[in-house]
Structure 1
Amino acid sequence: MKISFLYILFLGLIVFNIDNIKAQQKTFINYTVSMENPEQHKFQVSMETTITETSDFVMPIWTPGYYQKMNFAQYVSDFDVRDKAGSAVTWKKRDENTWTISADKQTLVTITYNVKATRAFVASSYLGIDRGYIIPGALFLYPEGKINEASKVQIKPINNWTVATGLLKLKDKPFTYYASDYDILYDSPLLVGPLESLPSFTVKGIPHYFVGYKMGDFDKEKFIADVKKIVESASDLIGHIPYQDYTFIAIGPGQGGIEHLNSTTISFDGGGLTTADGRNKLYNFIAHEYFHHYNVKRIRPIELGPFDYKKGSRTNMLWVSEGLSVYYEYLVVKRAGLMTEGQLYDNFKNNIIAFENKPGRHFQSLIQASYNTWSDGPFGRNEDEINRTISYYDKGPVVGMLLDFKIRNATNNQKSLDDVMRKMYTKYYQQLKRGFTEAEFRTETEKIAGTDLTELFEYTTTTKELDYQKYLNYAGLNIDTVTRVLPTSYTGIKTRMRNDSLVVSNVDYESPAWIAGIRNRDVILTLGQTAVNVQSILDIEKNKKANEIITFNILQGGVKKEVNLKLENKLNKSFTISRKENLTELQRRILESWLTKN
């Protein structure tokens, strides 16, 4: 098939007549991206725009959807500015991500620079001999104070490569795309390479596409049928589809995904579909990123738009945007018929175990984890002596489950958290066309519940212990929180080999190793007089008994030490979730509607 037909078929991009666009927007900022010598891992970027006497141009420090400072500007080199006649125009680097360009009068200039792109990661641009991946915020400068400017982007692919993106494709302009403003441009990554298109499908008459690089060998028709079920389940929950087409962009093997208004970029390897556990993880992942086009892109905290590309946009509400998206990824997949009831309970069990086993639950609240993700990371800090952080990916979905069951019980199963999400979508996105505040989210939730929800919201603002039994009982569910003594002993150490040294990678807070004085990054030299490896620690826990003393020779901060570790019994709570027997009528209705209906 011809390339132009492929784009229409698998990208579903709306074809715009350039004259119609000009009628709507008289001026453009024009970008051209080349990828000569891809083995050098550098994109060549050309930016054509008009400047006044002095104009600042900024490279974002982050990309929306990945709440970390990325310092994209550090990868820019060979910066140059020329006027229409080809003469050099004066410029200087004002700060780490701002360039100031000066001219005597209003001048059409061409700004050129290279961007090094070596990291194959969903939040970073990458270029190699095999493919290219463009994070627009990592490649395109914007004129300061003018994020509402429209732009055109022309890609110059090599080796007959094709392009996948959510950007609008211009008619009769090969590999040329349009963004009405910088929020749209920065929200639309591009994958370039020898791409494969899976069969397209429609939901409510709207086309959906799945395009990717090295997706692997799997039953692609079955997979696409399942992805369609996921889209149907999620869109049925909200009751509306806001885009004109949607593209799943599989960027290759790896980890991570980022959501966008009409696309998502996901690390993807179809080989994971060969096992039940692999399918469960992959379908949850796809459902999570897809549901984000509702929850965070449209149902969004008010701080997340317009974005602050120079400093980042902090919010206390990522527990809603991310945590509740985890909650709904499970329900979307279950209601799509792609997950068993047991798998659903196990997913929540795993979140609870991850949360309960972190000492950070005693120190950091959900809203603090949300706000501090810029420094802590989405999964919490790992380098501290005491891990005082949590992940909103773990506690968020659990609080979402408890909140949902409370609403269902309080309203005699007439309302649910689904109704809250629909209300936030229709009122704040469709009607008010803005994000919501913390107070508004709580107010709308309590209105739908018809009752005060102080305890549930205290679970987000404090470190108060979660009352699992109370809220799961509303749905006729039991959770096993009994502490049991396991037959193995316990050190509290996790290790890894680094070169020829056994390095401590984690020490559980208040564990036997912690009490003995062993800390992260210590090197274990010997056990007594015996050489060690990772298996040595595992053998201790398997073969030794509680109260036995193990002598460790360690290197701590460059100083050799001998420490005596007293083993303890390994204690465990399973947090297994299961149905109770003899449910009340209300419990039965809550559970069945939660499992099967929106």
Structure 2
Amino acid sequence: MSISATAAAEPVRYHVDLTRAREQAVRVRMTLPGPFEDSIDVHLPVWRPGLYLVLDQAGTVRWTRASAVEPAGAERHAEMSKINKSSWRVSGLRDATAVVVEYEVWAASLENRTRHADDTHAFLNPSTVFMYAHERRSSPVEVRLSTPAGWRVATGLPADADGVLRAVEYDRLADSPIEAGFHDLIAFEIDGVPHEIAVWTGEAATPSSEPAPGSVRSAERYRAMPADFAAIIRAQAAIFGGMPYERYVFLVHCHPAGRGGTEHYNSTIVGCTPEAFFDADRYRSFLSLISHEMFHTWNVKRFRPAGMTPYDYQRENYTDLLWVAEGTTTYYEDVILVRAGLMKPAELLKNLAKSIGDLRSRPGAGVQSVADSSYDAWVKFNKRTADAANSTVSFYDKGALVSLVLDMTLRERRGGAASLDTVMRALHRAFPEPTAGYTVADLRRVIGEAAGDDDGWIDRFFSTLVHGTADPDFESALMTVGLTLVGEPPKDDAAWIGVTVSDEGGHAKVTAVTVGSPAADAGIVPGDLIVALDGHRVRAGDLDKRLGRSGPGATARLTLFRHDVLRDLTLAIAASPARSYTIRKADDPTDAQKAAYRSWLGVDW
């Protein structure tokens, strides 16, 4: 079942037929060179890097067939049978010089950035489309695309003069999404390094040189992308000492449901709505996403936790360090925008204050540690239930805030001589891909070296904030850079029963119930359909307003359906426990605080 090592230099070849993209059909012909023993197993990954969720992508494979290539070049039928949910065995190959595996994938999902095809484009995340053999995972790869007329191709993979895409191995192919179709292509350079932005908008023709008035391409912010992206990249490269690639490609899907992004080796795929280029706040959110995915070029793609390298495509890859891989990246996304001159410090502080308020209002923050959140990403964070807010915390959001505390602690202890930037650089130097990756012990050591001394604070940091559920001391941390965290008292007149609702048929469907709330005490559960309050019809959009008429301390009668049975429940309306926060500059900062502030954000106090 193995391939001879003498064939290791022979490439694995893929031919991808996109000529039926309008039918959302992608046909793949994979050729694996021999020699073989009697059989070989081929696999499709069950997950894709960048999303910690088993997707069972083999479910989109419509059909498969295989043939063995004889020494004279003729092909004969080879038996291909399923051996598990994402693996097939091709048999009868003893005298074959190569095996050809053909299959068709249904490409109909823009969600999770997996694979999508129509008459305007085909987006392929290779880990969701390209099969592989374990024995040839380190072999070079060639990919040839057959596309409809007028289509062009954008990808981080290099292409030869004939348009054949090449990768040093399957892992690089899997980490290089391909966008083929009618897309706008914007090229720019940073210090001689070429960068490209390929924007797909769903238009059924290659964009003309002159954008139509009112179109996305006519927007001033659209035209600002190259300069803004370059500012982000320069600010990030300043941390690590340069760009770690020879070329970089941004793939942008701009459509009404566009959102989210995924990092890749020398490219990224991000989504946005057309409004992102016409609204200042939405454009800044888009730039935050770009900053996040770009920072992953180092943090994850050039160094990552031990549990994530090398990738095992057939099962979950566990680590309790996603709070660094994702949370620290989230922390930096807006810090970088300020350093790049693309966000005002006040906006960053507003975002941080909101994040702190959200964390302190979340019951799950006292239940799940950020390390456990990292490890359970596969079964909790990416499989969220109605109980998520009560029992979990986000390794993105809390990871970012824990990173803030770590950054401020290092700056304070070293008088500005070290920071989280120092830790990032050290991890980049010490654990470059494809090394085994860093462990918790490695991270503790790197932090200790950056701090220069340790009176036990590193143990306390990890035991309370990483592996524990203690509330971070943001107040003390922010004073390092002369900032004060101010908590606004809860509003006594804000009525609250502890439910989250959505509209269903004009009624308020309960989607979540806060533990310990009046709703929980009254026995309201997710799925209940609230139809009336004190005998009057209530809708999702006016539930809070109707509760506010009675006010905290009053008793209310809720009428609801559960399993199509009408019920009346009585509960006591409470005052909302939520607190909002603001971050303000200290009235009389020290010179050290002002210097730390400038070092942190790159702007004067």
TM-score normalised according to structure 1 size:
0.91
Superposition map of 1:207-356 within 5 A: 207-214=194-201, 216-219=217-220, 220-253=222-255, 254-269=258-273, 271-356=275-360
Please give the secondary structure, in 1, of the residue aligned with 2:317. coil
**3-state secondary structure, aligned to 2:244:** coil
What CA deviation, in whole Å up to 9, does each residue of 1:232-278 have, x standing for no partner? 11111211211001111112331111101111111134531333321
Is the contact between residue 217 and residue 223 of structure 2 (CA under 8 Å) also seen in structure 1?
no
- Residue by residue over 1:410-469, the C-alpha shift from the partner in whole angstroms, topping out at 9 and shown as x without a partner, is 111111111111111122218x94421111011111111123322322301111121111
Which residue in 1 is equivalent to 2:51? Answer: 66
Q: Could you tell me how far apart the structure 2 residues matched to 1:327 and 1:121 are?
A: 25
Q: Secondary structure at the match of 2:475?
A: helix
**Unmatched tracts of structure 2, length 5 or more:** 1-5, 202-215
Cα displacement string for residues 97-126 of structure 1 (whole angstroms, at most 9, x for unaligned residues): 010011151412221111011111243111
Unaligned runs of 5+ in 1: 1-22
The answer to whether the 8 Å contact 2:7/2:33 transfers is no
Return the offset for 1:386. 6.8
Change (3 A) 1:50 1:385: closer
Contact residue 47 and residue 127 of structure 2 kept, 8 A: yes
Cα contact 1:420–1:445 (8 A) shared by 2 = yes
Partner of 2:490: helix, strand, or coil?
strand
User: Where does residue 96 of structure 1 map in the other structure?
Assistant: 85
In the alignment, is the contact (CA less than 8 A) between 2:531 and 2:539 conserved in 1? no
Letter in 2 for 1:426: R
Give the distance between the partners of 1:476 and 1:454, measured in 2 at CA. 26
Aligned partner of 1:14 in structure 2 is: none
**1:469–1:478: 8 Å Cα contact kept in structure 2?**
yes
* Aligned residue runs from structure 1 range 381-530, under 5 A: 381-384=384-387, 387-429=390-432, 433-452=435-454, 453-458=458-463, 459-530=465-536
Q: CA deviation at 1:303?
A: 1.8
Change (3 A) 1:265 1:419: same
Render the CA deviation track for 1:185-225: whole Å, top value 9, x for unaligned: 10001011101012x22223211111111265422332321
Question: Which range moves more in the overlay, 567-576 or 544-553?
Answer: 567-576
1:56 to 41, 44, 47: 41
Which residue type is aligned with residue 232 of structure 1? R
Distance in 1 (CA, whole Å) between partners of 2:95 and 2:426 is: 48
Q: Decide which of 580, 589, 595 is 1:583's aligned counterpart.
A: 589
Give, in whole Å, the separation in 2 of the partners of 1:485 and 1:153: 61
> Identity percentage over the alignment?
27
Say yes or no: does 1:125 pair with 2:131.
no
| Residues 104 and 410 (structure 1), Cα distance of their counterparts in 2 relative to 1, 3 Å cut | closer
Q: Which residue in the other structure is 2:210 paired with?
A: none
Q: Distance in 2 between matches of 1:145 and 1:521?
A: 49
For residue 299 of structure 1, report the CA deviation from its aligned partner. 2.2
Q: Distance in 1 between matches of 2:135 and 2:361?
A: 46
Matched, 1:367 2:371: yes
Query: After alignment, is 156-165 or 284-293 more displaced?
Result: 156-165
Cα distance in 1, alignment partners of residues 259 and 388 from structure 2: 27
Q: Is the 8 A contact 1:168 1:177 kept in 2?
A: yes
Corresponding letter in the other structure for 1:421 = M
Offset of 1:152 from its aligned partner? 0.7
Q: Deviations over 1:514-545 (max 9, x none)?
A: 22211111111322433331133132233221
Residues of 2 paired with 1:570 and 1:167: CA distance?
Answer: 53
SS for the counterpart of 2:431 is helix
Q: 1:266 to 1:555 in 2, by over 3 A?
A: same
Q: What letter corresponds to residue 87 of structure 1 in structure 2? A: R
Aligned partner of 1:193 among 181, 185, 191: 181
Question: Are 1:191 and 1:251, in contact at CA under 8 Å, matched by a contact in 2?
Answer: no
Give the superposed CA RMSD. Answer: 2.1
Report the residue type matching 2:248 in the other structure: Y
C-alpha separation in 1, matches of 2:112 and 2:217: 18
Instruction: Please say if residues 385 and 519 of structure 1, whose CA atoms lie closer than 8 Å, have aligned partners that are also in contact.
Output: no
Q: Structure 1 residues 261, 522: CA separation in 2 closer, same or farther (over 3 Å shift)?
A: same
Helix, strand or coil: the match of 1:562? strand
Q: Which has the larger displacement, 481-490 or 113-122? A: 481-490
Give the residue type in structure 2 aligned to 1:223.
M
User: Aligned-pair distance for 1:513?
Assistant: 1.5
Q: CA deviation at 1:484?
A: 2.6
531-540 or 580-589, which deviates more: 531-540
SS at match of 1:80: strand
TM-score, normalization by structure 2? 0.90
Paired residue secondary structure (1:483): coil
